[in-house]
Structure formats: structure tokens, C-alpha cells
Structure 1
């Protein structure tokens, strides 16, 4: 199939882009790399009268260290993030998740802003943003605002962005001392969306106890999730206790509604999710202990 006819717009700056969206209303859609939207348009799962292309919008690309954060423009491609030494050094969890996204052709065009705004529950970048407590910058005709990743993902393919808002950048906290990170996922084939995945961040204190930790889950609900109860229970524990398998079981024990389809039942996904958490936890704790 081919997409339904649409009018193409190519704004030069962010203010022009959000102005177009406000003017055209719900009949318009932003398109960044197009790796999620174009297949939906081609299958006519989505139809829009207007597409507003963000590729030429100034100021939406780049990676910058800004104090205790690393800012990444929403239009920055996944391939650029994968090559960034700044990201690898200061936001290693994001760097490690990047090669898991699709295939290199997809990463060459797909953008971080497009992935986060699309809000697929099985995608890596939304889960990483939630796990690390990223700040999401948005622009509308009313001005700019910042939204925390916590609470940003409101449902399958839906977010806290207003209808006339554009995601312009994402700010990730710089890694702290004695910290470790890991991401694990299980997919039917390399490049497929994960049936279940986990992202873990751990920071130890001087006594090798867990100062803070974050456990993100993807593919296990209608949005990316945090295993908040398990995180709270782990704070103050020794790095070697409890066992990784116990952490995995505790993380998925909070899940209330796990998706099921022809690729796996809810119980199967829950089991796989626990294994992914255990593997990621073990690797993250070891890295923190070796730091």
C-alpha cells in the first residue's frame, strides 16, 4: 500500500514548526526520521492531511555537556548518539541501549526525539529516559517547558505532550561515582522489538551499599515502567545481597497487566522480564563495584 495523499511542510526553525502544528491542528503530524511513522502511513494505520518535516529545523541536533547533564537535541539520530564519546562517557546506559535499536539503517535516520515522542512501550529510548530520570524539553506557541520522564508516558503511543507541542531536547544526568549500568532484552530476532527488556542503574556508597538504584522495564506494559517498590526495598542493601534472581522476581512482582500475543503469554513475558532484570542487575552491580 501507499500513504494517503498529504501536504508536505519543511519549516526552518522550531517556532515555525510549532506554529504550523497549531495552525493545522490534529490533521497535521510532525515527522522526524520517519522510522516509526512512515510504516504506519504506508499501511494506512495512520492518515494525516499534513506532514511537518523536522529535518531542516535548526537547533534540534547535537550532543552537549551542560553542567551535570548531557543535553541531546531531539533531532539527533540514533547513529550519532551511538558514535558520541560524550554519551559513552557520561550516559553509558543510553550508549549501550543504542545498538539494540532495529538495524543500522534504522539508526541512521531514526531520532531520539522521534522514539521518545512515539512512546512505544517496547522501545529502548523511552525506557532509558524513564530509568535515568531524564528531563524532556518541549516548545509550543505558548513557550517552552520541561517535563520529567516520570509521568511523561501516559499510554501506548501517548505522552504528556500537548497537541501543539514539539519535543526539542532531552537532558540526561551525568553518571555519578561508583555507578554501574546495564540493559538486557530478549527479542525473537536481532533488531525486533523486545518481548521483554530491563535497564538498570546502580550507585554504591563508600561501604559498598546501594545508595540508589533504578530498574526500568520495557515490553511489559502499555508504557515503559519503573519497578519502584523493588528499588525502594534495595536501597541500603549490600551490593551482593539480595541475589540477582531475587531482584528480578521482585521487579516483575509489581506488574499488574502484562501484554500477551502470539509471541508469548503474559506469564512467559513476566518470566523473561525477571531474567532480563537479573542479568542487568548483576552486570550493573559488578560495574559499580569495580568503579
Structure 2
């Protein structure tokens, strides 16, 4: 199908993008990599009057060392994240999750900011960003503010972005030397996650010193598996303790039933995948 007619603007600065977006109001849409928006436009499931293309905003690209954290531009592609040496060294979980996003074509076009702002609960970057205690930097007419990942995702395909605001950067704390793993279950290759688990562990002398666990597609927003973390910290990274911790994976989650899986099966998957992911991270 052919999209409905719309006005198109390609700003050259963030300030210009914010101004144009604010002027466009609720009928304006942001185009980042286009991997989610373009299919929706073609099927006429959305008919914006204005599309604001951010592809010219080079100030929003790249991964930068920012002291105790990495600052990742929202227009950085998945492929760039995969190849970046800073991400590999300090945020391995983010790279491992990015490896599972779509296919090479999508990873070359899709962007970190676009995926997070889209807020699909089956998306593979939401749970890792939550588990990593990342902060999302948003810029709008009122200025710039930082929103913790735990407060950014508010509902299905809904975020804390205010009207006229853009997600400009993602600040990820460095977890240098931590083990990490992203365990994803899907029906076919390159498909969305039915359930996935993101794990980062700090293990010292065989004992878990710190644990971060996030769940993908176990509710309308990504879920932090606090029960698993509590069970792991301070205990040896043995099969027995990992299995006991994984049994708490679905605590606080609200899995749904759909054509891919029912809620009971998703709960089962969360426990099984958590055990696998924690075991792999402890060995990394």
C-alpha cells in the first residue's frame, strides 16, 4: 500500500527537531531508522500529518566514554553498537541483546533510540536497558531531563516522553568485567521474543556479588526480576542456587496470552530461560 500524504521535514540540529516536532503536535511522527514506522505508514495503520526525519542529526550518533558510564546517541544503529569496543568492554549485555535484533539489514538501519522510544514489550533492548539501570536523556521545549529506565517505559508502546520531546541519548553505567548473557526464545529465527531474559552478574571467587536481571515480553513493559537478584546475591554461583533463584523469575510479572503463547507457558519459559541465562553469565 501507499502511505497517506504527509509533510516531511529533515532538521539539521536537535533544537530544530524539537521545535518542528512541537509545532506538529500530536499528528507528528519521528522517523529514526524507520524499521517500525515505515511498515505502519505503508499499511495505513498511522496517518501522521508530519514526519520528522532525524537521520541528519549526526550529534546523536556514536558511543562515547563519559566517565563511569557510556553515552550512546539515540541515532546509533544496532550494527554500530555490536561493533563498538566500549560496549564490548563495559556493557556486554547490551551487545549480546543487540546481536539478536532482527537480521543484518535491520541492524544496519534500526537505531537504539528508535527501538526504545517505540517501546514494544517484545523488543530486545528494553529489558537489557532496564537491567543495566540505564538513564534515558530526553530533550524537549522545556529543556533536557534524564529519566531512569525503570520510569521510562509506562505501558504497551508507551513511554514517559512528553509531547515535543525526543530521546537523544542513553546513559549506560559501566559494568566492566561482569559476566552477561541474553537468552531469547522465539518461534523462528529473526522473530520477536516470546520471552527473553537479560542477565549481568558480578562474580568474585565463585560468589555472586551483584546481579541484574530483566525480562522481555512478560508484561506491558520490561520487568526487573528483583526476586532472582535477591536470591543470587551473596551466594555461590552453583547450579543449586541458580535453580532456586530462577524459580522466582516471574514474581511481579504480568504475562499475557496471545497467539504465540499463553500466560502460563510464558511463566514457565521465564523460569527456564532465567536458569540458562544466569548459568551462562556466571561462566562468562
TM over 0.5: yes
Q: 2:247 is matched with which residue: 246, 249, 252?
A: 249
Q: CA deviation at 1:243?
A: 3.4
- The correspondence of residues 224-263 of structure 1 with structure 2, limited to 5 A, is 224-240=222-238, 242-255=240-253, 257-263=254-260
Q: d(CA) in 2 for partners of 1:245 and 1:110?
A: 36
The answer to whether the 8 A contact 1:201-1:215 is kept is yes
- CA spacing shift, 1:29–1:38, aligned 2, 3 Å: same
Tell me the CA shift for residue 245 of structure 1. 2.8
Distance change in 2, residues 1:254/1:27 (3 Å): closer
Output the CA distance in 1 between the equivalents of 2:211 and 2:143.
34
Relative to structure 2, which stretch is displaced further, 244-253 or 125-134?
Answer: 244-253
Give deviations 1:148-198, integer Å, cap 9, x for gaps.
111210001001111111011111111244x21110001111110010000
Partner of 1:267: 264
Q: Is there any run of 5+ residues in structure 1 with no aligned partner, and where?
A: none
- Is contact 2:227-2:245 (8 Å) kept? no
Q: CA deviation at 1:101?
A: 0.3
* Distance apart, 1:241 and its partner CA: 6.2
| Pairing 1:1-291 to 2, within 5 Å after superposition | 1-177=1-177, 179-205=178-204, 207-240=205-238, 242-255=240-253, 257-287=254-284
What CA distance in whole angstroms lies between the structure 2 residues aligned with 1:160 and 1:228? 22
Q: Secondary structure at the match of 1:215?
A: strand
Matched residue SS, 1:59 = helix
How much has 1:73 moved relative to structure 2? Answer: 0.4
Question: Contact 1:14 / 1:58 at 8 angstroms: preserved in 2?
Answer: no
Q: How many residues align?
A: 284
Gaps of 5+ in 2: none
CA drift at 1:208 = 3.4
2: distance between equivalents of 1:87 and 1:196?
24
Q: CA RMSD in A?
A: 1.4
